[in-house]
């Protein structure tokens, strides 16, 4: 049984990035997604650049400012040139994201990822926007550059082709929290029944930016503690679950 422990949102803010570092060094995270357009992206990368993890591009089209000219991507931005929020995008009756415009921004974020890290991402996926057009654009750019496009939990065909099954997303309570021990126990059968699974988390500490720009707040600090907990480490050992990362599956995907 193999499990990829993925942490999203590196670079979202300095505090989030510090929490992710904690979850890597003292916890069980094996793969980390960097948001190239965010102001703290360089800061986040510097924190984890020497860690033995898979580093992916967590492409972001719903927080902050785009890296491409806003005039070239009108379906992605507000009048002030910043991205439309994920909440606003999810409220639309139709998927109005333009694939070609989306590819322009994805390419710009890939270039920034390369500028920051000096290399290509180990895997390639998207942040918070569940749009078919967004996924098509991501896959198109990934194919163009020979990158490992990832879409577990949302695309059953992708899971079948790549041999990686995404654990279901957690169900939050009224405070936006959940019981992570219960979550792992309830989803153990997925890990036992499949060759490889991926669990997606958003560990992080909190600062003013994240408190004002994300619906994920206290859950980040809770997950950070959980991912470093002795309970989780013992649970993984008890069930003989081997931790791997997306680099183990690049050859299969490409």
Give me 175's structure tokens: 């405070």
pTM of the full predicted structure? 0.96
pLDDT for position 249: 87
CA angle 178, 182, 188 (to 5 degrees): 130
Q: What CATH number is given to the structural domain containing 166?
A: 3.20.20.370
**Cα–Cα dist 171/83, whole Å:** 27
Under 8 Å between Cβ of 121 and 6: no
Judged by DSSP in three states, 242 sits in strand
Residue with tokens 């939990």: 153
Would the pLDDT of 250 be above 80? no
Residue 252 banded pLDDT, cuts 50, 70, 90: low
**Cα–Cα dist 254/252, whole Å:** 6
pLDDT for position 90: 87
Q: Distance between alpha carbon 107 and the CA centroid of its chain, in Å?
A: 17
pLDDT for position 200: 98
Residue 220 banded pLDDT, cuts 50, 70, 90: very high
Q: What is the pLDDT of residues 140-192, one digit of tens each?
A: 999 999 999 999 999 999 999 999 999 999 999 999 999 999 999 999 999 99
Parent domain of 157: 2-253
Quote the number of domains for the chain: 1
Give me 177's structure tokens: 């929290």
pLDDT for position 254: 53
Parallel, antiparallel or unpaired: strands 196-201 and 2-10: parallel
Q: What is the pLDDT of residues 22-79, one digit of tens each?
A: 999 999 999 999 999 999 999 999 999 999 999 999 999 999 999 999 999 999 999 9
Under 8 Å between Cβ of 227 and 235: no
Q: Which residues contact 24 (CB under 8 A, 6 or more apart)?
A: 7, 32, 48, 51, 53
Give me 228's structure tokens: 């470093």
Would the pLDDT of 236 be above 60? yes
Q: What is the pLDDT of residues 104-128, one digit of tens each?
A: 999 999 999 999 999 999 999 999 9
pLDDT for position 45: 98
Q: What is the mean pLDDT of residues 94-105?
A: 97
What is the average pLDDT score of the chain? 96
């Amino acid at each position: 049984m193999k499990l990829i422990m993925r942490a999203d949102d590196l670079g979202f803010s300095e505090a989030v990035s510090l929490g992710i570092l904690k979850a890597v060094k003292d916890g069980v995270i094996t793969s980390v997604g960097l948001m190239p357009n965010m102001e703290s992206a360089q800061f986040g990368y510097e924190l984890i650049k020497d860690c033995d993890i898979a580093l992916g591009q967590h492409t972001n089209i719903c927080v902050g400012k785009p890296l491409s000219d806003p005039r070239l991507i009108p379906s992605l931005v507000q009048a002030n040139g910043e991205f439309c929020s994920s909440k606003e995008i999810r409220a639309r009756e139709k998927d109005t994201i333009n694939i070609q415009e989306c590819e322009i921004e994805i390419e710009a974020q890939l270039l920034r990822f390369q500028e920051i890290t000096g290399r290509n991402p180990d895997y390639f996926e998207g942040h918070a926007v569940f749009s078919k057009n967004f996924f098509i654009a991501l896959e198109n750019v990934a194919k163009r550059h020979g990158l490992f496009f990832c879409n577990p939990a949302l695309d059953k065909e992708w899971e079948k082709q790549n041999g990686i099954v995404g654990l279901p997303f957690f169900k939050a309570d009224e405070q936006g929290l959940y019981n992570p021990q219960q979550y792992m126990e309830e989803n153990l059968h997925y890990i036992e029944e499949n060759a490889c699974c991926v669990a997606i988390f958003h560990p992080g500490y909190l600062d003013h930016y994240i408190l004002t720009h994300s619906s994920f707040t206290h859950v980040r600090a809770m997950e950070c503690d959980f991912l470093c907990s002795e309970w989780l480490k013992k649970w993984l050992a008890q069930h003989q679950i081997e931790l791997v990362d997306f680099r183990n599956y690049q050859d299969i995907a490409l």
